[in-house]
Amino acid sequence: MTDFKTLLAAARLPERTVPICLRGDLTAEFEDLERRLDDALRTPATSLEGDGSGAIADRMEALRSEMVAHTYRFRLRAMTRPRWHAFVAEHPPRQDGDQVDARDRVRGVNVETFFPALVQESVVDPQLDAVEWDRLIGEVLTDRQFDELSTAAWSLNRGEVDIPFSPAASRMTRSSGTE
């Protein structure tokens, strides 16, 4: 077993990657093809040419490959504990008279400013300038994609950090005899 000082010397902040497809138009086309394939498979074929499902499936696979080519794996890193506390303090909840704004009460921060700043602070790859960040957050990402990034950033700083487990890898190493 490794001693604590050796582990401490090698310690790193938790990181996570979040894949984001930056071509939303491809997602829409894929979803349309998925509906068409579902319809084709439910409708009995009336000709020797079949129901067309093979051509639809081929296009879906080509489209999936194109989507993968336009997907970037954003790498996020947790903040140190002192930096996290300072960062939270930089985004105090808004006041609504004597009360904390209802939107900010649950998280204890100004959710309007906190989450965009959290994503920018946490993403270590890609490295973007202010103009690129504005375009990414304001014009490119959907609300759901932004939520995926902000949820990962929040989780890195406030969620559990655990040793991941992969059932598939576990099955493979057991069956191959590797320990």
For the chain, how are helix, strand and coil distributed in percent, rounded to 5?
A: 60, 10, 30
Question: How much is the pTM?
Answer: 0.75
Q: Is 85 within 8 Å of 163 (Cβ atoms)?
A: no
Return the SS3 of 79: coil
- Which residue has better confidence, 152 or 27? 152
Which of 17, 30, 52 has its CA nearest to residue 125?
Answer: 17
pLDDT(139) > 70: yes
Note the pLDDT tens digit of each residue in 23-82.
Answer: 888 888 888 888 888 888 887 766 545 567 888 888 899 999 999 999 999 999 999 999
Give pLDDT, residue 90: 96
Helices and strands: H and E segment counts in the chain: 9, 5
DSSP label of 47: S
**Tell me, what's the pLDDT at 55?**
86
User: Using CA atoms, how far apart are residues 114 and 136, in angstroms rounded to an integer?
Assistant: 16
What ranges do the domains of the chain cover?
Answer: 13-176
Sign for the CA dihedral angle at 36, 65, 125, 78 comes to: positive
Q: Is the pLDDT of residue 176 over 60?
A: no
* Residue position matching structure tokens 């009336």: 46
